[in-house]
């Protein structure tokens, strides 16, 4: 169990660099990052479970590529209540009550959102996600669903 860790930059509980992979952190709670990844930042090929974490971007995780993530009750003050800019993300369990207070992506915010891609562009940086249970409809602040921030 990792609880009540706070950092001013990235990765409230775990900060990964280029080599960080195959991390298993199944019980991260009440952690906070000043920038990105309230629970975890920058790991790949990992399994993360985060609840009640906070960050500016990615309340639970940020830049956690090719990973399985369970996220509940996490908050981002800007984008991605659950996840922010995670490539090939697998959402495990029932994601619910993740919030993006000041931006898009209550659950997920992707890289494709802020690089000037139009809504009609079918290719959003090659990002893939698998999610079975999200607690509310997929919506977008632009009025229609868009797969790069849900």
Tens of pLDDT, residues 39-84: 999 999 999 999 999 999 999 999 999 999 999 999 999 999 999 9
Provide the pLDDT for residue 34: 98
Provide the pLDDT for residue 133: 55
Residue 142 has pLDDT above 60, yes or no: no
Provide the pLDDT for residue 115: 37
Provide the pLDDT for residue 105: 79
43-52 long-range contacts, CB within 8 A, separation 24+: 43/14, 43/16, 43/67, 44/16, 44/20, 45/21, 46/16, 46/20, 46/21, 46/22, 47/23, 47/92, 48/23, 49/25, 49/93, 50/13, 50/74
Provide the pLDDT for residue 112: 53
DSSP string for residues in 35-49: SB-SSEES-BS-EEE
Digit-coded pLDDT (tens) for 105-115? 788 887 554 43
Question: Taking the model in full, what pTM does it have?
Answer: 0.80
Provide the pLDDT for residue 78: 94
């Amino acid at each position: 169990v990792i609880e009540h860790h706070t950092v001013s930059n990235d990765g409230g509980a775990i900060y990964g660099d280029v080599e960080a992979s195959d991390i298993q952190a199944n019980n991260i709670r009440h952690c906070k990052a000043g920038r990105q990844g309230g629970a975890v930042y920058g790991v790949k090929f990992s399994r993360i479970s985060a609840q009640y974490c906070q960050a500016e971007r990615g309340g639970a995780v940020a830049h956690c590529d090719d990973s399985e993530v369970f996220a509940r009750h996490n908050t981002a003050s800007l984008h991605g209540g659950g996840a922010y800019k995670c490539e090939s993300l697998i959402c495990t369990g029932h994601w619910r009550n993740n919030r993006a207070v000041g931006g898009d992506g209550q659950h997920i915010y992707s890289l494709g959102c802020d690089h000037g891609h139009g809504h009609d562009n079918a290719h959003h940086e090659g990002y893939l996600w698998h999610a079975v249970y999200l607690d509310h409809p997929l919506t977008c602040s632009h009025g229609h669903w868009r797969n790069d921030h849900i």
